[in-house]
Amino acid sequence: MMSVTKGALSVGTATLYSRREIRLILAFALLGTLFDGAELNLIGYPLVYISGSLHVSTIALITVATVQGFASILGGFVFGTLGDTLGRRRTFAISVVAFGIAATLGGLAVNYEMFMATRVLAGIGMGGLFGLSFSMFTECWKTARRGTMGGIIQAMYFVGEILTEGVLFLFLTVLGHDLGWRAGYIGIGIISTVIGIASLKLLPESKQWLAYQQHLKAGTLPEDLRRTKVPVVDIFKPQFVVGTVLFMVLSTAMFLTTNSVGAYLSTYLLATQKLPLDTVSLIVLIGYVATIVAYTLTGVVSDTIRRKYAFTLASAVGTVGFVWFLVLLGTKSAHVGPDFWAWPAFWALMLCAAAAGGFGVLGVWMSEFFPTRIRSTGSSASYYVGRGLGAGIFPLFALTIAGTVPFALALGIIGPVTGLVFSLMAPDRTGRAIADLE
């Protein structure tokens, strides 16, 4: 490892990882994103059954989801900071274990207040998963096809949603409505806790982070490369503040896009279009698949035309989809029948779902922008601010503003249009080598 002395140039070295180390880091990065997606459905999917068990309204549980979203903002700053000061491995383990304990206690909750507390803990805990997963991955992966693999990692978010639904559906079917969701929570919680503990043993620490820490302790860092005791301060320094703010805006735009479809699509198809549940479930599943494909394709494209332009392209596709859907609504032609593939509204909605492809490049894009010393903080804070605003606030007010479910869904056009504009302003360091000192 190259060393520097005080006052030396801002130079570091890229570090090689063994194949085994890369495989382990990749495995835990995939799991981290999977848990991040799983958390989203732990309330939404069994919401009716949880409200019955705790004797509260569905609005009360939507409030829980909102509070959890805001807690994830705090978690993004806390666990992002820990990732840069305590290390990627230990912080990842703490984050996953917190998620697991929260899920387990949630299944044992005897009242609304206890359930709320467990969800706040889960929100804080999951605040480290995205930034840590992409920091670890970006630091170990060679520059070639980094965007492609990053898109695959982000696609695990929806795999997590699908697996959560599957596990909860199984327990609800076998054990009934009250015991079912509780057993699902406890099962997911125990598995998550075991994986979190295992990461302490199996997950390799970032070699770039270790090298930086050695320089920091030895006092051999140039002044401009010294991290403050609170890395959150650093991400708002002049050389990073524009990128930090823009990534927060782009993250909010993506969450607003995905939540407009996720929150209202099923209701639109069931209540407005009067489709049977099995048809609606199939359409929603196809939407998930379309999103997974969009994540992966956007990552692939980003390796060719740069991260920002791939994000812009995904936003353009989404904008076309939402405009098409709005035109159909305005002309009273937004209909979807049992043969859904024959209706323009279905294809417009699939384009709306594809707008989420921007997420497929966002993690790698941010990780390449921030230097090693603040990579976890910058990525986590930017992502979870967006999650809190786009997934927390938007669903509460969209229906009130739009007036009807179809137009609340269409209001999601704000997301891709915002992404279209601000992605062109954001900094881009596509495919750069990641060094310890930079």
User: Does 286 score more than 70 pLDDT?
Assistant: yes
Apex CA 35: angle with CA 210 and CA 229, to 5°? 35
Q: What is the mean pLDDT of residues 184-200?
A: 93
Distances, alpha carbon 61 to alpha carbons 40, 64, 188, in Å: 13, 5, 20
Up-side HSE of residue 288: CA atoms within 13 Å toward CB?
A: 17
How many whole angstroms separate alpha carbon 86 and alpha carbon 92?
10
Nearest Cα residue to 26 out of 155, 203, 272? 203
Which range among 6-10, 50-54, 126-130 shows the weakest confidence by mean pLDDT? 6-10
State pLDDT tens for residues 323-332.
Answer: 999 999 999 9
Q: Which residue has the higher pLDDT, 17 or 426?
A: 426
- Separation of alpha carbons 128 and 208, rounded Å: 19
Residue 2 is predicted with a pLDDT of 38
Please report the pLDDT score of residue 395 as a whole number: 67
Average pLDDT, the chain: 88
> What's the pLDDT at 58?
72
* Virtual torsion, Cα 396, 351, 131, 93, nearest 10 deg: 80
Above pLDDT 70, what percent of the chain? 96
Return the pLDDT at 185. Answer: 92
Higher pLDDT, 93 or 399: 93
Q: In terms of pLDDT, which residue wins out, 384 or 43?
A: 384
Q: Report the pLDDT value the prediction gives residue 10, as an integer from 0 to 100.
A: 40
Name the 3-class secondary structure at 204: coil
Asked if residue 1 has pLDDT above 50, the reply is: no
User: Which pair of structure tokens corresponds to residue 431?
Assistant: 């495919």
- Buried-state track 231-245, b at ≥16 Cβ within 10 A, e below 16: bbebbeeeebeebbb
What are residue 14's phi and psi, to 5 degrees? Answer: -70, 150
Position of tokens 């997950």? 203
Tell me: pLDDT of 3 over 60: no
User: What are the C-alpha distances in Å from 433 to residues 11, 206, 208, 365, 382?
Assistant: 12, 14, 11, 13, 22
Average pLDDT in the 207-224 region? 89
Nearest to 72 by CA among 123, 106, 118: 123
pLDDT at 8 over 70: no
CA distance 85 to 358: 29
pLDDT over threshold 80, residue 41: no
R_g of the chain, CA atoms, integer Å: 22
The pLDDT value given to residue 11: 47
Residue 6: per-residue pLDDT: 37
Report the candidate in 179, 188, 138, 72 with the shortest Cα–Cα distance to residue 299. Answer: 138
* Cα–Cα dist 398/388, whole Å: 15
Kindly indicate the confidence band of residue 247, based on its pLDDT and cuts at 50, 70 and 90: very high
Residue 364: the pLDDT is 95
pLDDT digits (tens, 9 = 90+) for 342-387: 999 999 999 999 888 999 999 999 999 999 999 999 999 999 999 8
Q: What string of DSSP letters covers 317-362?
A: HHHHHHHHHHHHHHTT-----SSGGG-HHHHHHHHHHHGGGGHHHH
Q: What are phi and psi of 385, to 5 degrees?
A: -65, -45
| Residue 7 in this model has a pLDDT that exceeds 60 | no
Residue 229 CA to residue 390 CA, distance in Å, equals: 30
Question: In this structure, how many other beta carbons lie within 10 angstroms of the beta carbon of residue 205?
Answer: 16
Which residues lie closer than 8 Å to 3 by C-beta, 6 or more apart? Answer: 215, 220
